[in-house]
Structure 1
């Protein structure tokens, strides 16, 4: 499991695409006078990254407490906390398409930036930075094959970005590595 998990809520500020070991869209989130950085995965070195953009999501299924103020909120990894799970969250399972889009370049980053341009509020789910104010592991965090990331697998701890627009519509960006499966057991391990 991830050591910690939660959501930062605020307004999208500046953003850039950065190529490190993995490609990220690094976005700044303004939350009650505090700047948070969010490193959203959009590709990986072997080109084995996939994403989906979900539009027209049902607000009644968005489990984040509407009373939460802008800023960072730690969430328990369970169905009632507002945490996200690609395989279990009703707001996602009702909208997920059967086929993910395979990334060959920066298509996922461009799709995310297009969403951010029309946002009035963002909800960024993932793991907090160990130092500084920021969020990472903004991708699926379950269903890994044996290897270095399996120890981080768990349920109700997936990273994603939700975008609220001025017209009230709700969209989401979801990313995962093509080696991950959403057919997982109660521990987030491949079933």
Structure 2
């Protein structure tokens, strides 16, 4: 079944740091410390996978605040989100601002391609690589002092958010199959000085890009 709870933390980025591989093994994260009125939250963003030598897949892009719906205007703190379109919840496959609608031709000049991406509401293709490559791609948007949105599942105890990654499309028989669900994907977004949001999406390489109404792969 999907997560019991899902939501978004709105706050200010205090710091970020990587796990030490020798201490954490294959479960490698970029850790965030986020300040909100009720305290400092711990957020663990997965950038590694047990199931693949290529680690995770990720994409980094920028969206207008209006494309995110009501979450861009939320007050600092943790907020529960309904697993429905329009609530502010995320779904990599179904959300208009996150899904990939078109394939940019290789011959298209980059500035024109970026303009069309923005006009069409299309996110870039997935990049595959190692945990270090994923962390290196993620960290440039993690400017200390920026407003930040972290989507995922809240900790059972204490202040924190985890499962900050795609939360659907896991294969039948995997330990994560029971947690598949739509409109409950995790992500990290930081607010730029121009009011737009830099977005980091991440998923495990074994997760599929097409799912049914239960979030299971099709």
Tell me the TM-score normalized by structure 2.
0.81
For the aligned residue pairs, the C-alpha RMSD in angstroms reads: 1.6
1:120 aligns with 2:127: no
Q: Tell me: CA distance 1:120–1:157, structure 2 relative to 1, closer, same or farther (3 Å).
A: same
- Structure 1 stretches of 5 or more lacking a match? none
Q: In the alignment, what sits opposite 2:183?
A: 156
Deviation at 1:95, TM superposition (A): 2.6
Deviation at 1:33, TM superposition (A): 5.4
Asked if structure 2 preserves the Cα contact closer than 8 Å seen for 1:43 and 1:103, the reply is no
Residue 72 of structure 1 pairs with residue 78 of structure 2: yes
Higher mean displacement: 82-91 or 61-70: 61-70
Q: Is the 8 A contact 2:45 2:162 kept in 1?
A: yes
Q: Is the 8 A contact 2:7 2:78 kept in 1?
A: yes
More strand by share: 1
What count of residue pairs does the alignment treat as equivalent?
189
After superposition, give the CA deviation of every residue in 1:121-164 in whole Å (9 maximum; x if it has no partner): 11000000111100000000001111110100000000001111
Q: Flag as ranges the 4+ runs of structure 1 deviating above 6 A.
A: none
Residue 142 of structure 2 aligns to a residue whose secondary structure is: helix
| C-alpha contact (below 8 Å) 1:64/1:83 kept by paired residues | no
- What are the superposed Cα offsets for residues 50-94 of structure 1, whole Å, 9 maximum, x if unpaired? 110012x13221123444210100111111211000011111123
TM-score by length of 1: 0.92
Is the 1:23–1:43 contact (alpha carbons within 8 Å) kept by the matching residues of 2?
yes
